[in-house]
Amino acid sequence: MSDSIKRVVLAYSGGLDTSVILKWLQVTYGCEVVTFTADLGQGEELGPAREKAVLMGVKPEHIYIDDVREEFVRDFVFPMMRANARYEGDYLLGTSIARPLISKRLVEIAKETGADAVAHGATGKGNDQVRFELSAYALNPDIKVIAPWRDWDLTSRTALIAWAEQHQIPVPKDKRGESPFSTDANLLHTSSEGKVLEDPWEETPDYVYSRTVNPEDAPDTPEYITIDFERGDGVALNGQAMSPATLLAALNDLGRKHGIGRLDLVENRFVGMKSRGMYETPGGEIYARAHRGIESITLDRGAAHLKDELMPKYAELIYNGFWFAPEREMLQAAIDHSQEKVSGTVRLKLYKGNASVVGRKSPHSLYSERHVTFEDDAGAYDQKDAAGFIKLNALRLKLLAKRDR
């Protein structure tokens, strides 16, 4: 804490923890705090955040509350979805992809307000601290980053609450005890981890889920929908044009209703340990499947397989916090290059946890019934060609076999 800090921009949710941080920054550094509260579609009222900030002495012009939902989906979620990114085979990176956007705004606001530091409420054990800080440093190499959870001595819930009360921060009743799990939410997903989820052999209790109905309680009748894509991005639901955030929100409603997008995962954190998380990505899961569906008829094999080979690295980069790294941008350039003709319509069946692609069509389809048919193909394909194709593919294997017998 030797650094002298004049003014710090805090990623502020309005909740107890970041309120304590706000005060702690004022007390510890004797500095001015600027608050930034992002509406990422987490579904919480943001008004109270403003009130609390005012109460704690933040100047009105230093209270930033921004609706960044469209930017979030358009510039972060959709580019990532173009890559079909899933970390460790399954996780749709809902938390990971929001962090760079928050850092970007923190750094921008720091510039606007002449602040010399930014601060976040992520702990020292998780990935989010890495994501916040790598993004901040990549965007402003001179910025200072304060991570109170790594620095203070409020190492237990009791200590935190005592400190809050001592500093006149109101502590809601339901925050007095230990929360049974902690969550992060935005328009793409809600994640939960900790406490009741810490034994990976125990099934996630149903009360942990907040964004989806239990598939067993979902409608008994399937629902069919269509999603239209243009150049790799979703543009319409059931034929109705929608902005990125509106589309994702509408898919979230559908996914919630049909119990789609629940994921119970043990994953490998960048900081070195395994953790068990529960994710709900209702609209994202539907969208991800639809995107693969439209690619399946519009993307050439070479492009599709290259994308599949690059995906694990791309997903790992986002998970680890390297959104603003040159290698992520290089991969994005390759991926985006492939999406020019990824346009058309995908039809999906939603039913009790399943989101299945059942149809796809496109003006740019590469699927050729004429070539694939078992019927007479009017000369589109000469089966004799296959003999030579196989012979030359086999040649090296034959030479090997001759040698090794």
Strands of 344-351's sheet in order across: 240-241, 233-237, 223-230, 344-351, 354-361
What is the Cα–Cα distance from 28 to 117, expressed in whole angstroms? 14
Contact positions with its own copies (CB under 8 A) in 89-128 = 89-90, 123-125
What is the Cα–Cα distance from 270 to 130, expressed in whole angstroms? 8
User: Min. distance of Cβ 166 from its own copies in angstroms?
Assistant: 21
**Interface pick for its own copies out of 60, 273, 378, 379 (rule CB under 8 A):** 273
**Which residue among the candidates 50, 103, 105, 128 is catalytic per the annotation?**
128
| Residue 156 bears catalytic tag | no
User: Min. distance of Cβ 138 from its own copies in angstroms?
Assistant: 4
| Residue 103 bears catalytic tag | no
Question: Binding site for ATP: residue ranges?
Answer: 11-19, 38, 121
* Piece in contact with its own copies (CB under 8 A), picked from 63-71, 95-103, 234-242, 289-297: 289-297
272 contacts its own copies (rule: CB under 8 A): yes
Q: Are 190 and 261 in contact (CB under 8 A)?
A: no
Residues 6+ apart with CB under 8 A from 393: none
Q: Residues 239-258 vs its own copies: string with x where CB under 8 A?
A: --------------------
Residues 6+ apart with CB under 8 A from 81: 233, 284, 287, 288, 291
15 contacts its own copies (rule: CB under 8 A): no
User: Min. distance of Cβ 67 from its own copies in angstroms?
Assistant: 28
Q: Are 169 and 15 in contact (CB under 8 A)?
A: no
Contact positions with its own copies (CB under 8 A) in 361-380 = 361, 364-369, 371-376
Amino acid sitting at position 309: E
34, β-bridge pairs: 9
Question: Binding site: residue ranges?
Answer: 11-19, 38, 91, 96, 121, 123, 127-128, 131, 182, 191, 267, 279
Contact positions with its own copies (CB under 8 A) in 129-188 = 129-130, 133-134, 137-141, 147, 149-150, 155-156, 182
**Which residue among the candidates 182, 296, 347, 365 is catalytic per the annotation?**
182
Contact positions with its own copies (CB under 8 A) in 307-336 = 307-309, 311-313, 316, 321-322, 324-327, 329-331, 333-336
User: Min. distance of Cβ 58 from its own copies in angstroms?
Assistant: 26
Q: Are 216 and 352 in contact (CB under 8 A)?
A: yes
User: Min. distance of Cβ 203 from its own copies in angstroms?
Assistant: 4
Question: Binding site for L-citrulline: residue ranges?
Answer: 91, 96, 127, 131, 182, 191, 267, 279
The DSSP code for 208 is: G
* Piece in contact with its own copies (CB under 8 A), picked from 41-49, 52-60, 167-175, 386-394: 386-394
**Count of residues touching its own copies (by CB under 8 A):** 129
Cα–Cα nearest to 311, from 90, 114, 116, 107: 90
8: helix, coil or strand? strand
Greatest alpha-carbon span in the chain: 85
User: Min. distance of Cβ 366 from its own copies in angstroms?
Assistant: 5
User: Min. distance of Cβ 347 from its own copies in angstroms?
Assistant: 7
| Residue 128 bears catalytic tag | yes
* Burial environment of residue 119 by CB neighbours within 10 A (0 to 12, 13 to 18, 19 or more): buried
Q: Helices then strands (H, E): number in the chain?
A: 14, 14
| Residue 182 bears catalytic tag | yes
359 contacts its own copies (rule: CB under 8 A): yes
Contact positions with its own copies (CB under 8 A) in 201-230 = 201-204, 215-216, 220, 222
- Residues of 56-68 as b/e, b for ≥16 C-beta within 10 angstroms? bebeeebbbbeeb
28 contacts its own copies (rule: CB under 8 A): no
Q: Are 228 and 236 in contact (CB under 8 A)?
A: yes
Nearest CB to its own copies, comparing residues 33 and 138: 138
Q: Which residues are catalytic?
A: 17, 99, 128, 182
